[in-house]
Structure formats: C-alpha cells, structure tokens
A = this chain, B = another copy of it.
C-alpha cells in the first residue's frame, strides 16, 4: 500500500478545500470497504505497531506539540485549553498503552447477535458489521486522535479526524504513527485520515458529505454540538454536556449521601460525569443538607442554593434559574430542595441533559421509580455519577458519552460503532 498522492489543490480557496475534502471522503470510503473485511489479527497488529511507533517517535511528537503549545500560549488561549493540549512523556505513554488496550478488546465485527430458524426452514442470523466511515470532530486534545482512530480501526470503520486547530501539529504527528501501524500490516493508510488543514471551514464540508461520512461524532462545547446537529446531512452521535444530578432521598443513608455528593462533584470537576446540581428531599433537608453542604465546602466547593436550601443552610450563594441548566465543569454546585422522588424526576427531566443521574436512598421503591422514570442514558442508585465512563462500564475505551437516544446511548465504545445485517440461509425457499 503506497501513500496516495495529495490532490493538487490550493486549500486556501473554498473550491480547493472542498475538492480536497471530497477526496479525503472518497479515500475513506474505499478504505472502509477493505477494513470491513480485515481479519481481527491484522487490525490488532496495526494497533500494536502504532503504539510502538508512538513510543519510537516520542521526541518528534513532543517537538510538534511544543510548537502547538507555544502558538496557543502566544495567542493568549485559556489555561484550560493549553493544559489539555500539552503532551508529556507520561501522557504519550498513556496514549500508546491506550492503543494496546484497544487491541486487547474483543473484535465486535462478525459476532452473531441473534439467530433463529423459521418454520419454513429459513435460518436467520443478525451479524455485526461496521458502520462505514466515521467523522469525528473534537477539541484540541491530541490524545483523542489516537483513541478515536484506534476505536474506529478496531470496529472496522474508516475514520476522518478533525481535531482542534491548536493541536494540528501534534495530531498530525500522532496520525503519522497510526499510519505506520497500518502500513506495517498491509491495511490502507486511508483508514485513518486527519483533515489536512487547520481551516475551520473544513468542518462545514464534512457535514455536507453524506455520501462519504456515515455518522458524525462531535465532541466539544455546546455551540459546536448545536451547529453539527443543525447542519449535518448525516446521523450524529450527539455528545451534549453532562448536566448530572445527585438526588438525596428522605430514605438516604446519611454517610452514603455525603460521600456520593462529594465524590460526584469534586473527584474531578472537569469531566462530563461530574454532578452540577444536588437535589434534596424536603423531608430530610433540615437534618441532612447542612452536613452535606459543609462537607462539600470543606472539599473546596462553592454552593448556590434555592430559597428552601438557603433556609436550612445560609452559607451559600443565591441560585438563579440559569444555574439549573449550567454545566459549571468547576468546583461549583447548585442545590435545590424538591418534593420527594416525583419532584426530583420532574426537575431532572426538565433541566438535565439526559446524561447521568443518581439517587441515594435505602428505599427500594423510591430507587426503582427514579431508575425507571429519569430519562437519562445512565441512571444510578447509591453510586457516584463519576462512574459515567466507558472503562468503568467495562467497555475498555470510549469516544465519549452519547446523550441521544438513537443507535448509541451512553458510552460509545467499539460495539456502539457498529451496525448489523441479516444473513438468511435457505435451501431453495420461494415465498408462497
């Protein structure tokens, strides 16, 4: 497999960029057909070879990353963006190990999901297949380049990766390593392509290529997701924000309530599974809220409460309506008093993002009602919302957490990146 020659286009013109993106799509489509039939051993060998290439190229990747970081710093980018952008030898080792983890996962492709025989003798089989070409649009986190490319490869899909423009050099260096892995195995390098320009207009072209991209996975801020959902001409695995709730029921064990509330908010505040709102049952608020609130403050959390919450614990800011729909991703928590399980369900279904919500209670009936009626991808009983993570589910790795109800819901790992087909075997049957 030789590297295809780049199209002779000027990417600074609109027409040139469009032609180049269509060419990227055509190559991805061709690679996907090969990849769909690739044996497990070839895919795994490519993943292991890519991991080794990343280790062997550490110096070159870190050099590319240093240039990205210098540019981002010079442009005055936010500290949190620069922090996500920075690669270190340790972070790069995690990237390589992540590819090895993906190689060790079972291959979803070809597995039989169901089989049955009809009275007329026809044997039916529902068999996993790849989706085809997956377009992934993500923020400036170079490690996502390897995770997303690796998950697509393992699940037999071609990937078109469009990372944040600030990480362009770092992502390109990592994609080079993925190509070395593919090359070493005889798989098409076009199976994993990075968009060859920093130009944000490339995103618009991706969204208008339904013939070449079967599904778009957007990761990033609210405005990106909304733009993708509005403009995309193909299905979207939406990753909305994580407006996660912990509801402390009157039947809660106080120790568990304190531990889960503090962990759900403060273990890591920047992850999508971090709690943003604490709901507490009116019946227990006077006795339990002060204890939970002071534990959160001891852990460094700022609190914003509604009137009823502030009536039983005065040392908190005033929550406004906007607080119920704000993903802080910071050490801030909004607190509302609700009327039992029905009040909690109503608050969550009205204000949440259908991501991850937890109830703390020893009352089995209350727990079942909450688990049934809260309309979220992940609902938990007596456990922290921070378990919203593909690895914690046992999926090995994930591209993100889908908040949509279509196709993939919750953590998106290799199985969620597949479709299926019906294979029907007969002995000459014709339909009467």
Contact = CB atoms under 8 A, between A and B. Distances in A.
Interface of A: 33, 36-37, 116, 118, 122, 124, 129, 131-132, 210, 214-215, 229-230, 233, 235-236, 253, 255-256, 259-260, 262-264, 267, 349, 367, 371-373, 375-384, 386-387, 392-394, 404-407, 409-410, 419-431
Contacts of A253: 428
Contact of A425 (B349, B376, B381): B381
How many copies of the chain does the oligomer comprise?
2
A429 B383 contact: yes
Contact of A422 (B349, B378, B421): B378
A426 B378 contact: no
Contact of A259 (B131, B383, B425, B430): B430
Contact of A379 (B259, B382, B424, B429): B424
A375 B29 CA distance: 13
Contacts of A267: 430-431
Contacts of A379: 421-424
Contact of A122 (B214, B377, B383): B383
Contact of A405 (B132, B371, B372): B132
Contacts of A382: 425-429
Contacts of A428: 253, 255-256, 259-260, 382-383
A422 B377 CA distance: 6
A430 B384 contact: yes
Contacts of A367: 425
B384 A431 contact: yes
15 contacts: A36-B375, A122-B383, A253-B428, A255-B428, A259-B428, A260-B428, A367-B425, A380-B426, A381-B424, A381-B425, A382-B429, A387-B429, A393-B422, A405-B419, A409-B422
A122, A255, A421 — most chain B CB neighbours (10 Å): A421
- Grouping DSSP codes into helix (H, G, I), strand (E, B) and loop, the A interface class, with mixed when no group exceeds half, is mixed
Given A405-B214, A406-B214, A420-B409, A260 B430 contact: yes
B372 A37 contact: yes
A294 to B, nearest CB: 18
Contacts of A375: 36, 129, 421
Contacts of A384: 429-431
A406 B263 contact: no
Nearest to A382: B426
Contacts of A425: 367, 380-383
Contacts of A429: 382-384, 387
Contact of A235 (B131, B235, B424): B235
A263 B424 contact: no
A38 B420 CA distance: 30
A239 to B, nearest CB: 15
Contact of A131 (B262, B406, B420): B406
Given A118-B392, A233-B229, A394-B118, A373 B37 contact: yes
A179 to B, nearest CB: 25
Contacts of A33: 349
A423 B371 contact: yes
A383 B424 contact: yes
A97 to B, nearest CB: 19
A37 to B, nearest CB: 6
A413 to B, nearest CB: 12
Contacts of A386: 430-431
